C-alpha cells in the first residue's frame, strides 16, 4: 500500500525512490483551468482531490524528477518545490524493482517531448460535457498522463485511461488529500 508524505514550504524529503511521484498545487493559468475543471467532476466527498493541479515522477535517488511543463517534458530538481506544499506518494512494494525501472525508463524517454495542449483541450471537453474526447498529438502529454503512463509501464493502473487522466485522478487512486 502506498504511503503519502506531506512536505510544507521549506521542507524536502530526506530520501527518494525512483518511480514514486509527487502531487502539488500551482498558481499558474493552466493549473487554474485544471483545478476549475476538476472541481466540476470531483464533487461531494471527492472534491478534496480537485486541489491537486500538477504531478511529476521521481527518476533519481536525489529527488530529480521528470514533469510535463508548458514548454515540454523536462527534468527538474525536487528543490523547485521547496517553497510550496507537495505530497510524495511512496509506492513501496506496490511497484517492485523491475516495475520501477520500467516506469523510470519510460519517463526518461519522454524528456524533450512537447506538452499536450491538444490533450488538455480534450480533457477539458470531457470535464465540461462528459464526452471522452481524446485529442492528441504524438509525443505530447500533460503531467498526469505522463505520470499515469509511467505507472502503467511499471505494471500499475492498467485499468486507467491515461489520455483522460488528471492530477485529481491520481490523488483519488492513492487517496492523497491536502
118: in domain: yes
Q: Which domain holds residue 163?
A: 3-173
Give the pLDDT of residue 116.
72
What's the number of CA atoms in the CB half-sphere (13 Å) around residue 110? 35
Whether 163 maps to a domain, the answer reads: yes
CATH code, domain with 153:
3.90.1720.10
In a domain, 73, yes or no: yes
Q: Tell me how many domains the chain contains.
A: 1
Q: Note the pLDDT of residue 134.
A: 66
Please check whether residue 178 lies inside any domain of the structure.
no
**Cβ(70)–Cβ(120) under 8 Å?**
no
* Cβ pair 153, 102 in contact under 8 A: yes
Mean pLDDT of 87-107: 97
Say if 25 falls within a structural domain.
Answer: yes
**Residue at 93 is within a domain:** yes
What residues are paired with 67 via a beta bridge? Answer: 74
Q: What is the per-residue pLDDT across 104-138, written as a single tens digit (0 to 9) for each?
A: 999 999 999 987 776 766 666 666 677 666 666 67
Length of the chain: 178
Residues 6+ apart with CB under 8 A from 104: 18, 19, 57, 59, 150
Mean local confidence (pLDDT), 56-84: 95
**Is there a domain that residue 125 lies in?**
yes
Going by C-beta distance under 8 Å and a sequence separation of 6 or more, which residues neighbour residue 177?
A: 48, 49, 51, 171
pLDDT digits (tens, 9 = 90+) for 145-169: 999 999 999 999 999 988 888 899 9
pLDDT of residue 131: 65
Residue 133 domain flag:
yes
Amino acid at each position: 500500500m502506498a504511503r503519502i508524505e506531506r512536505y510544507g514550504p521549506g521542507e524536502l524529503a530526506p530520501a527518494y525512490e525512483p518511480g514514486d511521484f509527487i502531487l502539488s498545487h500551482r498558481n499558474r493559468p493552466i493549473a487554474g483551468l485544471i483545478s476549475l475543471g476538476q472541481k466540476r467532476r470531483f464533487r461531494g466527498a471527492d472534491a478534496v482531490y480537485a486541489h491537486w493541479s500538477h504531478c511529476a515522477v521521481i527518476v533519481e535517488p536525489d529527488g530529480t524528477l521528470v514533469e510535463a511543463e508548458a514548454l515540454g517534458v523536462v527534468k527538474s530538481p525536487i528543490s523547485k518545490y521547496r517553497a510550496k506544499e507537495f505530497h510524495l506518494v511512496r509506492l513501496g512494494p506496490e511497484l517492485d524493482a523491475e516495475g520501477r525501472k520500467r516506469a523510470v525508463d519510460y519517463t526518461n524517454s519522454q524528456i524533450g517531448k512537447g506538452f499536450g495542449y491538444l490533450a488538455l483541450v480534450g480533457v477539458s471537453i470531457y470535464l465540461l460535457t462528459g464526452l471522452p474526447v481524446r485529442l492528441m498529438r504524438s509525443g505530447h502529454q500533460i503531467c498526469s498522463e505522463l505520470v499515469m503512463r509511467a505507472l502503467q509501464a511499471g505494471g500499475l493502473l492498467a485499468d486507467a485511461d491515461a489520455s483522460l487522466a488528471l492530477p485529481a485522478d491520481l490523488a483519488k487512486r492513492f487517496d492523497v488529500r491536502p
